[in-house]
Amino acid sequence: MKLRVGTRGSALSLAQTEEALRLLRASHPDLEVEVRVYRTHGDQDVKTPLYLMPMKGVFEKAIDEALLRGEIDVAVHSMKDCPTDLPEGIAIAAVPPRRSPHDVLISRREEGLAELPEGARVGTSSPRRVAFLRHLRRDLRIEPIRGNVDTRLRKLSDMGYDALVLAEAGLQRLSAKPRYQVLAKDEFVPACGQGALAVVCRSDDHGIRRLLASIDHAPSRFEVEAERAVLKHLRAGCRTPLGINFEYGAGSALGRLMMVSPDYRGRVLAKVRVQASSPERAAMELVRAFEGLGGMKLFEAWKGLEGAP
């Protein structure tokens, strides 16, 4: 059998695709694979912050359209980039074992977040990371930065940034080994789906779905389905500075949901331990805990704001 797989051409996208294919070949050693590279809107526009782009799925749309046209059989996406409402006709057929969901701080002088000098210049374009950084260190100069992981690491020195905040999973997949500080989940709750992959196919392609089921990792799928259910229930988008994470273990899961106030002084962190029987039920327990702590007041306060926090 020959499997046609679509992906972006960045080093990280190719590494993510190879990670999924390595697992698939272990289960199906005779599988023949053709990887097709697509250039997406997010690849063409490397300056506009992602949350300001006037479309959803800036890294997935072109590849998903190729999937629906029948040019490819499978696509590998970063789960964090996938809209909660997938295009009609597309299904997440597999969630391989999740890598670290943590954010990390990489600094030029190898300081941690608390040790950065006053007024240090920190690069990130994520509204969530911006809000959490400003809550922890209101003195920092936080400036946008776009580009692939290697591009951002190069900009750290070439463009005078003192530090960057990146996803640990990207560094793991690229075998990049800069010294960094892992940011604690209780202070820097990860983004929905961070560290996980979404292996998608046409929803009516039952043969491909059966093939991909061999690399579906139930704990990782539970975590991301619960996180995405929270995001969908709250109707939160990419501009909403919200951290959502579930951590599966031994039949239960620890959920975290965090948001800071628009003035960055206050925050709400909801934490619940739930039975891992239903992602939707786990999501609702976490949302109720967030509401009980007054989190919806912060959510509504952010709702009408435009642009980055």
- Give me the active site residues, please: 81
Is residue 69 helix, strand or coil? helix
Distance CA 56, CA 82 (A): 8
Distance CA 106, CA 93 (A): 34
**Cβ pair 183, 165 in contact under 8 A:** yes
Burial letters 92-103, b for 16+ CB under 10 A, else e: bbbbbebbbbbb
Kindly state the greatest CA–CA separation across the chain: 58
Is residue 122 helix, strand or coil? strand
Question: In which region does residue 160 sit, left (phi positive, over 0), alpha (psi from -120 to 50) or beta (all else)?
Answer: left
